Each structure stands twice: as structure tokens, then as C-alpha cells.
Amino acid sequence: MDRILAINPNRNATCTAGIAEALAGIPLPAGLRFEVTDLPDGPPAIATWEDWHSVALPLCRRIEATPARAYIIACVSDPGLEAARAVTRAPVIGMFRAAVAAALARGERFGVMAFVQPSLARQRRALQAMGVEGRLAGHRPLDLPMETLLDPVAPRARIAAVAKALAADGAEAIVLGCTGLAGHAKAAEDAAGVPVIEPCQAAGAMAMLAVM
């Protein structure tokens, strides 16, 4: 029970390692640690509605079997969030909602750099639930494979182009809409010239505050 458990609902080991690296930069009180895991039977990425719905039950079962002070759903579509909150009394943090909250602390209007086109509908549903859709300046997909996003160089030109477009849309802060983008936050921020919110760190900070 000395852990905050971050569950990557896909089975991509490189993506899971990137989440762990991003969370490692958050200082925790003595006796508390982040633990990062994935779902071995999960999809390779959460790209479609089918992927999104398919992980809800496995996420719940993992939470029920693994006591923790708090849980982070480590996907920026927040799959299974409502179901997960129903099976534990511990805080359950959705990365997308945490990142949006952080973006709203940096500006009145924000943009979202989404993973793929189908991500837009899922993320807009979350924005509507939060009551902040009206503050969305731009919402643009990268439409790149997960393997490309996880490469340290290959997606940089596309990331820079989308970051600049979101800033031109009027975004005063930008949310990275995929955990596969964790290693590209600085590049996106340099291109956009506005603050960029990395969702792993936003969710980690919120989880830490939730258990203090």
C-alpha cells in the first residue's frame, strides 16, 4: 500500500517504460513510490473505440487484485475510468483529465495534440463531462502509428507542425494526447512557444496530492 499504481492499458513495453521514466521525475514523500505496469492481454495501443471498451474489465480486475494508495489509468483517453472508480475507494486518476486541469492552470484556452483521429471523440466526451469543451482552442490528431511515436526522432517534424498549428488556433497551453509522446514534450513546447502539458507527470502530481 506504499505505492501509486499506474496501469498502461496497452501491452506495448516501450510505451510502459516511457511512462515509468516520465513518472520518475516526480519527487515523492518518503515511503511512497510509483509502480508502473501494463495489461499483457491489452491491445497494442488504444486507437479505436473497440480498444477503449475492451480494457475496462481487465483494468478493474487489476485494481481489485493490486492494493495501492491511488491508481493512474496511463492512457490519454481515460478508458475504463468510471468503471475503475466503482471497484475501489482509492483515488483513480485519468491522465487526460489531469492534463486538462493542468493546462487550464496555464491559460484560458488550450489545445490537444491527439494520437489518432478516433481519439478526438473520446477526448471530447471527457471535456464535456468536465464542462470545459468551450475552452478548447484546437484539437488535432497526429495520425502516426504508436511505433513511430515511440521513436526518439521519427515523429518530431509532425509533432512540431501540429504544435505550431495548435498555437495558431489560439491555444495558450497544449496537452499531449498520448503517453507515447512523453519523450517529445520539450520538442513540442519549443515548436509551439506555449506551455506543453505531459500527461504522465500531470497525473502523477495529481495522484500524489490525492494521497497526501
pLDDT tens for 163-200 read: 999 999 999 999 999 888 888 999 999 999 999 999 99
Return the closest-CA partner of residue 72 out of 176, 207, 202, 199.
Answer: 207
Given its phi and psi angles, is residue 196 left (phi above 0), alpha (psi -120 to 50 degrees) or beta?
beta
Kindly state the average pLDDT of the residues 6-25: 92
Q: Which part of the chain is CATH 3.40.50.12500?
A: 3-94+201-211, 96-199
Confidence of residue 1 (pLDDT cuts 50, 70, 90): low
Grid cell of 130 as nine digits? 468536465
pLDDT mean across residues, the chain: 94
pTM > 0.85: yes
Contacts of 94 (CB under 8 A, 6+ apart): 73, 78, 81, 126, 203
Backbone angles phi, psi at 159, to 5 degrees: -60, -45
Q: Which fold has domain 96-199?
A: Rossmann fold (3.40.50)
Only one residue has cell 506495448, namely 12
**Spatial contact of 111 and 167, defined as CB atoms under 8 Å apart:** yes
Only one residue has cell 497544449, namely 174
Return the closest-CA partner of residue 18 out of 81, 83, 64, 76.
Answer: 76
Q: How much is the pLDDT for 179? A: 86
| Better-predicted residue by pLDDT, 15 or 170 | 170
CATH of 3-94+201-211, one of 3.40.718.10, 3.40.50.12500, 3.30.1600.10, 3.90.1310.10: 3.40.50.12500
pLDDT tens for 71-111 read: 999 999 999 999 999 999 999 999 999 999 999 999 999 99
